[in-house]
Amino acid sequence: KYKTRAEIMEPKASTVVRKRKPGGKDDRAGLNSPNDISKSAVPKAMTARSTILTFACCAVALVLLKWATSSPPKTYCHKDDPKNDIDITSWQPPDDPRPIPPGSWGAKLTTPAKLEKLRDMGQLPVLPSGVPKVIHQTWPSRDVTGVAPHYRKWSASWGACHPDWLHVLWDDCDIRRLFAKHLPDFLPVYDAYPNPVQRADIFRCLVLKEYGGLYADMDYECSGGVDGPTGLNPPANSPQGVCKVFIVNSPDPEHDGVLQNAFMASVPEHPYWTAVFDLAVERRSTLSGRIWGEIPIQNTGPGLVSDAYTMLPEGEVKKGVCGLNNTEFSGQALGQAPNAIHRNAGSWCACRFPAINWSCWKKCKEKKKTYVPSMYRDLTRYKRSIDRGDKLSDKDQATWDQYGHLFGSYYEKYGEFEDI
């Protein structure tokens, strides 16, 4: 049946037809003109809903971004082969005056399986203080082809200083196996850490609790040795003779806490480490810790080991935890120390979410500009202010008076420092 012209032109029931009154008024809702529709309640409600929807979408996007940029533990790991050693004699610079003796323990980065085997056989040498002669370091994998030259040099320096110490390299797979075997109840907390640096932080506490020995960051260089009377082997009749846990004092107590976890040593099974893990669980259970992971410094880093120490009740356990002089075992600001030097390369900076950890991201960005002692940066800033005729603050002036004579040697070694 064909429609007539009138039927075709007749509007459908769903079509809205506006009719004008003689005075130009609209017959719907008393609107004067179509432009007045923006003033009605309907668009306002729509605007409110759109705003809420936008915020909800942004929140979901932030959570997804946080999840996507975190690095969950690997589910597939290599077999821990005791024979999978890495020769590091080639990591030494050719002009190093302390060549690593060939065939010594210090000439290789060995595996946790070999450490376990030697411990079970009772063949690990121990210092008189009770600290085993074992150096622990960590890297994401045993594929070390991408290790930067400066990290190679610093890691090899431990073999040169202590060729009779076992040098163990732990990768991400080894670390997760360590928790699964020795602290399975903590494994859900370990897996939930959003940043790789947090898992590396808490690892060093467990490896010292289980095996003892010395843990040193990959940006720590051995300059003279750590088993002397002011280090890990104090005389038994001295006040430090009761020390069983050794942690370097922080060069920045206001920011990091009284202790710094980049260089720590311990006897096995010291109760201090139990207090550290109890505090780590408590801090991870907070709302901010569950959602954003907080700043690693406080959750798993120097703040954790510092606060665990200060919270210990007075007694034998607390007396057994001793701080090492940072001018001898860190030298972080000056870039020099007689026993061990923290080069502070800033590799821990993994602020993958700058929208949340802006201050961390900014600090990490500054750290990665160049590898020079922080004191050189400060001295450069002071000198430029003096050259401009500006007056230094009392604190800066005191620092310049004490260390200003080092500026020339820093300049010769590192050149012009532009990134202030």
- pLDDT tier, 37 (very low <50, low <70, confident <90, very high otherwise): very low
> For the ranges 49-63, 301-315, 380-394, which has the lowest average pLDDT?
49-63
- When comparing pLDDT for 287 and 196, which is higher? 196
pLDDT for 95-121, tens place per residue? 888 999 999 999 999 999 999 999 999
Q: Could you tell me which of 161, 307, 154 has the C-alpha nearest to residue 225?
A: 161
Residue 365 has pLDDT above 80, yes or no: no
Query: In this predicted structure, what is the pLDDT of residue 226?
Result: 95
177 touches 80 (CB < 8 A)? yes
CB count, 10 Å around CB of 141? Answer: 15
Cα separation of 307 and 170, whole Å? 26
Residue 12 has pLDDT above 70, yes or no: no
Residue 62 has pLDDT above 90, yes or no: no
Cα separation of 167 and 85, whole Å? 10
Residue 22 has pLDDT above 70, yes or no: no
CA 362 from centroid of its chain's CA atoms: 14
- pLDDT tier, 348 (very low <50, low <70, confident <90, very high otherwise): low
Cα separation of 177 and 198, whole Å? 16
The b-or-e profile of 32-43 (16+ CB within 10 A means b, else e) is: eeeeeeeeeeee
- When comparing pLDDT for 266 and 150, which is higher? 266
Q: Calculate mean pLDDT across residues 339-368.
A: 58
Cα separation of 260 and 174, whole Å? 24
Q: At what angle do helices 374-387 and 394-403 cross, to 10 degrees?
A: 110
CB count, 10 Å around CB of 145? Answer: 5
166 touches 118 (CB < 8 A)? yes
Query: In this predicted structure, what is the pLDDT of residue 401?
Result: 87
Query: In this predicted structure, what is the pLDDT of residue 355?
Result: 40
- When comparing pLDDT for 406 and 369, which is higher? 406
Query: In this predicted structure, what is the pLDDT of residue 379?
Result: 80
Task: Report the percent of the chain where pLDDT is more than 90.
Answer: 43
C-alpha distances out from residue 172 to 73, 78, 97, 177, 191, Å: 7, 10, 33, 9, 12
Cα separation of 152 and 181, whole Å? 30
CA 361 from centroid of its chain's CA atoms: 12
Q: Give the Cα-Cα-Cα angle 23, 26, 31 (nearest 5 degrees).
A: 110
218 touches 91 (CB < 8 A)? no
Task: Specify the length of the chain in residues.
Answer: 420
124 touches 166 (CB < 8 A)? yes
Sheet with 321-324, side-by-side order of all strands: 166-170, 134-138, 213-216, 259-266, 245-249, 321-324
Cα separation of 189 and 276, whole Å? 14
pLDDT for 257-309, tens place per residue? 789 999 999 999 999 999 999 999 988 865 454 444 456 788 899 989 999 99
Q: Calculate mean pLDDT across residues 409-420.
A: 65
pLDDT for 46-57, tens place per residue? 677 788 888 888
Cα separation of 150 and 170, whole Å? 19
- When comparing pLDDT for 254 and 314, which is higher? 314
- pLDDT tier, 29 (very low <50, low <70, confident <90, very high otherwise): very low
Residue 122 has pLDDT above 80, yes or no: yes
175 touches 199 (CB < 8 A)? yes
pLDDT for 207-263, tens place per residue? 999 999 999 999 999 999 999 999 999 998 888 899 999 999 988 777 667 899 999
Those residues whose C-beta lies under 8 Å from the C-beta of residue 162, and which sit 6 or more positions away, are 106, 133, 135, 222, 225, 226, 227
Give me 12's structure tokens: 């459908």
If you average pLDDT over every residue of the chain, what do you get?
A: 80
- pLDDT tier, 65 (very low <50, low <70, confident <90, very high otherwise): low
161 touches 99 (CB < 8 A)? no
Residue 151 has pLDDT above 70, yes or no: yes
Cα separation of 273 and 282, whole Å? 14
CB count, 10 Å around CB of 329? Answer: 30
